Chains A and B, each alone.
Chain A
Amino acid sequence: MAELFPPSFLTAIGSLSIHIKRAAPRALHGAHQSPSSGASLEFRDYQPYTAGDDLRRVDWNIFQRTRHLFLRRYEHPTSVPIHVLIDSSKSMLLESPSRYATAARLAAAIASASINSQNTVAVSVLGNDRATQTRRVTGRPQFMQLLADLSEHRPRGDSSLLAIHRVLQRRASARGVVVVISDFFDNDGIESALGSLRRIPDRLVLLRITQPWDANPRLQHADHAADLIDCESNQRLVVSPSGEVYDRYVEAYQRFFGALDQFANSRGARSAVFDASQETIPQLQHIFPAGVLTL
C-alpha cells in the first residue's frame, strides 16, 4: 500500500475538498446549497403568497405591517453522493508505471476530498460483472480500507466501461456526481464508449489516464514492421510505421478523444487528462485548483 500511496501523497490529499455549487434535488443533508426551499435556519427570501401555498410558512409579522401575505423561504444544506468508477481493464495495468496506479491515486484523492466536505463517496473498481466491487466511504476507517482495496487490485477483464450501468443500477443513493477514471479505450470505437457514458444520468466528471505514447506512437515504435497484440482482445495487427501511418494514427486518436471532449462539453461535464508516467501529486491541480474541486 505504501508503494501506491506513499505518505507524501496521503499528506498532499489530506487537505483537499470539494465544493458543489448547486446540489441536485432530493439529496441528503450536507454542506452544499440546494435550489429547493425547505426548513432550516438560513433565510433565503420572501415569496408572495398565492392560493394553495402552505399557510404555516406565511410570515404574519409582515402581514401585520403591510397587510400583504408573504411566505418565508429558506436554504437547506444538502450532501451530494459521489460515485467514483475506476476502469480496471487490462490496458490500465499493462505499462509501467501503470495507468491504474494514477487512477487509484485520483480515486483516493477524490475520496479524501469528499470526506473533508462531508459527502458520502462510493468507489467502484469496474470489471466483469461479478468482479466489480464497491466500497462506500463515510469516514477515515473506511478510507484506509479503500486504500488497501485499491492496492490489492488485479486486472479484471476487458471493456469494463460496460459495467458502469450495472454498478449504477445497484446503488442505493440518490443521483449525484459520477467520476469516471479510465483510459476510455474501447475497441468498438468511440460510439461504444459514449454509449456507456450517455446512460449515466448524474453530473459527470471524466478523468482520462494517458501514457506519452498514446498521442505520439513514435515514442514506442521504431520505423520497422511490428506485430502488435491488443492486450484485451488478443487481436494481432502487423504494421509498418511510416510518417503517413503515424499521421493517420494521430488523426484517429484526436478524432476519438475529440468526440469524447465534445460529449463532455455537451453534458457540461468536467474533464481532465493525467499522464501516468508523471508524478500524480503535481497533476492534482488539474481538478483541484487551490485544493478545491468545484462542481
Chain B
Amino acid sequence: MAIFDTTSITAIGLGIGSAAALFALHRLRVQPTTKTIATLLFWRQAVQQQKTRVLPGKFSHPLTYLLLVAIALLLAMSLIGDQWQTTTTAGPTAIVIDAGYTMAAATPGGQSRLAEAQRRAADEVRRSGDVSLIAAGARARLLSAFSDPRAQFDDQLNRIQLHNTSPDSASALQLAFSLLPQDHGRVIWYTDQPAVPEWLPTTIASRIRVEHLDAAVTDAAIIGVIYESSATDAATGRLRVRVGATPDIKHPLSLKASPAAGAVQTFTVPSGSESEVTIEGVIADGATWTLQLIDAPGLPGNDTVTVRLPKHSAVTFRFHGNVPEPVRAALLAIGTQAQDDAPAAIDVMLDDAAAPKNVHSVLRLITVGSTQTPSGAKLRFAADTDEGLTLDDIVLAAGPALSENASPVLRAGDVVVAAMNKSLDSRRELRLSSALWDTGSNLPKKAAFPVLMQRFSRQLAGWSEARSLPGDRILADPLWADDERQFQTLVYSRPPEAAARSAVPVVEETTAETAKGSWPVLELLLAAALTLLTAEGLLLATRKIV
C-alpha cells in the first residue's frame, strides 16, 4: 500500500502547515468592539450572507476554524490527487454527455452547461484509465471508444454539438454499458436531468455517477393570462397569471412583470402543478406587458409571454355606409374613435340584414314604433347586438325643437344634442335637439344616444347612495308633481328593497346582461353619458310602454 509514501507525507506536511497558519490568523484576528443597539433585526438580515464570506467571521468560531483546517487538508491532498486516483479507480470509464437542447442554458458561471460538462469531463479523464465518450443527442453516438487514442477523445469531446431535441438518454446509457465489462467499470453521466431515471435497474444505476449541471430544467410555463376589470372602474383591474409546472418542481418560481412603462415587479409563484399570481392595480391603457417566468438564470423554453391590455379610454368604431352621419357624430361626441381598418372595431349599422357577419361586434338599432303626445314625440325602439345583448325598449320624452327655455346638457361639437327644458306647466323634461330628430322617418338622427339614456336610467335606478338635493330645494322642485313621483325613486336615497316596494314604473330589465366588462363599448358609452349628464344635474324619466 502506498498510503504513507512520499506524496502522502507531503500532503500531511502541507495540511499541518496550513493549519498552523490558520491558527495564527485565528489568534491575531481583530477583536470587535462591543456596542448595545436598539435592534439587531436589520443587522441580522444584513450579515446573514456576509458572515460566511468575511475572513474574521470564518475564524471567529472554533467549529468554523476546524472546518477550514479540514478544507486545507483536502486541498493539500488534491495536489497529489492524480496519483491517488490512478491507484484507487479501477476499470474503464464511459463518459456520457447530455447533448439535448437544454444544455445550451447558461450556468451561474456564465458558460453553457455543455461547456461546463466538457470541462469537467476533461478533468475527469486525466485521472482515469481507459475512457470512452458517448454523446446523448437525438440519438446516442459513440464518439471515442476505449481503444482510441486519448487525443481523439479530447478532440471529439470539444466537438460535441447540441441537438434541438430532448436527449435519448436511455440509448446512450445502454450503449455505454454495452461497451463496459459486465462486472466492473463505471459510467459518468454529465446532464442537467434531475436524477438517475427510475427505470434503470438498481445494479446498473449503482455504477452510474451523475454529474449534475446547474439546477434541474424546469418544465414550468405561463399557461394563461386574464385581465379582469374591477367592479367599480372598468379602466382598472388586475392581471391573473396562471402558471403550470411539472410535479418535480418543488421550489417556488418567480414571475417578472414588465409593463411598457413603469417599474418592473417580481412575484413569487407558489409551488404546485398549477398556481396563480394576481397583479393588482393594472390600468387598462392598451399597453403591452411582458411576463417572464424565472426558474434558473438563462432557463430556456417558452417561459415569456407578452400580453396587450384592453384599452378602455377609447373605443374604435367602423361605420358602414347605411349609418347616418348624425350617428357617427353622436358616437364621436362621447369620446369614441372612427377607424376603418381597426381589427377590433365595433361595426355600427342600422337594422341591416345584409351587414357582414364576420366582424368583431355589431351594434344594431331597430325602430319599434312611436307615438305623439301633447308634450312631444315619444320614441320607442330597441338595440341589439350579435353577442346576444338585447336592450329593453325605452321611451324618451322628446320634442321636435329646442325651446327658448331649454338649457343644453350635451353637445356634439356645435350641435346641441340634448337639453333640459322647462315646459309651460313647469315640468322639467329632457328634450332631444331637432338636429337629432327626423320627423319624417321618426328615426333618431343620433341613433346611439337613446342607448346611452337607457343605460343611464338603469344606473340611476340602481343607485343606493344618496343623490339628494338639499332639503330646501325639495319643496321648490317641480318634480314633486304626482305624475312625476318616479323621480323620487330615481333621485333620492332609498334602499333597494324600499324602491322595489314603491312599484314605481322605472326601467324594467327583462333580459340578462353580459358580465361587466365583457361589453366595454356600452360601459364606455354609459360612463360618458353619466359624466355629461350628471354634471348638469339632469333628471331622466323613462317608462315602459305596454
What residues of chain A have their CB less than 8 Å away from a CB belonging to chain B? 43-48, 50-51, 62, 65-66, 68, 70, 91, 94-95, 99, 183, 185-187, 189, 211, 214, 217, 220-221, 224-233, 235, 237-240, 242, 244-246, 248-249, 251-253, 256
Contact = CB atoms under 8 A, between A and B. Distances in A.
B26 to A, nearest CB: 14
Given A225-B56, A229-B34, A239-B43, 14 more contacts: A47-B492, A51-B501, A91-B39, A99-B38, A187-B40, A226-B33, A228-B43, A229-B36, A230-B36, A232-B39, A237-B40, A240-B57, A242-B54, A252-B46
Contacts of A233: 40
Contact of B38 (A183, A224, A225): A183
Contacts of A224: 30, 32-33
A74 B317 CA distance: 51
A227 B33 contact: yes
A88 B54 CA distance: 36
A45 B43 contact: no
A253 B32 contact: no
Given A44-B471, A46-B471, A189 B40 contact: no
A220 B474 CA distance: 68
B49 interface: yes
B528 to A, nearest CB: 30
Given A185-B41, A249-B42, A256-B42, A237 B471 contact: no
A242 B43 CA distance: 12
B374 interface: no
A228 B35 contact: yes
Interface of B: 30-47, 49-50, 54, 56-57, 60, 468, 470-471, 474-475, 480, 488, 492-494, 498, 501
B40 A47 contact: no
B490 to A, nearest CB: 12
23 contacts: A45-B471, A47-B493, A48-B488, A48-B494, A50-B494, A51-B501, A68-B480, A94-B38, A214-B38, A217-B42, A224-B30, A224-B33, A226-B35, A227-B35, A231-B36, A231-B38, A233-B40, A235-B40, A240-B54, A240-B57, A249-B45, A252-B41, A252-B42
Which one of B30, B41, B45 has the highest number of Cβ atoms from chain A below 10 Å of its Cβ?
B41
A99 B37 CA distance: 13
User: Dominant SS at the A interface?
Assistant: mixed
Contact of B475 (A66, A95, A187): A66
Contacts of B54: 240, 242
Given A46-B471, A48-B492, A240-B54, A245 B37 contact: no
A230 B492 contact: no
A245 B42 contact: no
Chain B CB count within 10 A is highest, among A95, A214, A225, A235, for: A225
A50 B502 CA distance: 9
A95 B32 contact: no
Contacts of B37: 94, 220, 228-231
Given A183-B38, A185-B38, A226 B471 contact: no
B494 A245 contact: no
B42 A253 contact: yes
A46 to B, nearest CB: 5
A43 B470 CA distance: 11
Contacts of B474: 45-46, 70
Contact of A237 (B30, B31, B47): B47
A214 B38 CA distance: 9
Contacts of B480: 66, 68
Nearest to A73: B471
B57 A238 contact: yes
A248 B49 contact: yes
Contact of A185 (B31, B39, B470): B39
A245 B33 contact: no
A183 B37 CA distance: 13
A46 B43 CA distance: 62
A45 B45 contact: no
Contacts of B31: 225
Contacts of A220: 35, 37
Residue from A62, A70, A95, A248 whose CB has the most chain B CB atoms within 10 Å: A248
B469 to A, nearest CB: 8
A214 B30 CA distance: 26
B47 A95 contact: no
A248 B45 contact: yes
A258 to B, nearest CB: 13
A248 B40 contact: no
Contacts of B471: 43-46
Contacts of A94: 36-38
A185 B31 CA distance: 28
A228 B33 CA distance: 8
A106 B246 CA distance: 56
A237 B35 CA distance: 10
A277 to B, nearest CB: 13
B38 A227 contact: no
A230 B39 contact: yes
A186 B42 CA distance: 10
A189 B39 CA distance: 11
A227 B30 contact: no
Nearest to A99: B38
A39 to B, nearest CB: 16
A45 B40 contact: no
Nearest to A95: B38
A256 B498 contact: no
Contacts of A244: 50
A91 B40 CA distance: 11
A245 B152 CA distance: 50
B223 to A, nearest CB: 30
Contacts of B50: 239-240, 242, 244-245, 248
Contacts of B43: 217, 228, 237, 239, 249
B44 A237 contact: yes
A239 B47 contact: yes
A94 B39 CA distance: 10
Given A44-B471, A224-B33, A256 B41 contact: yes
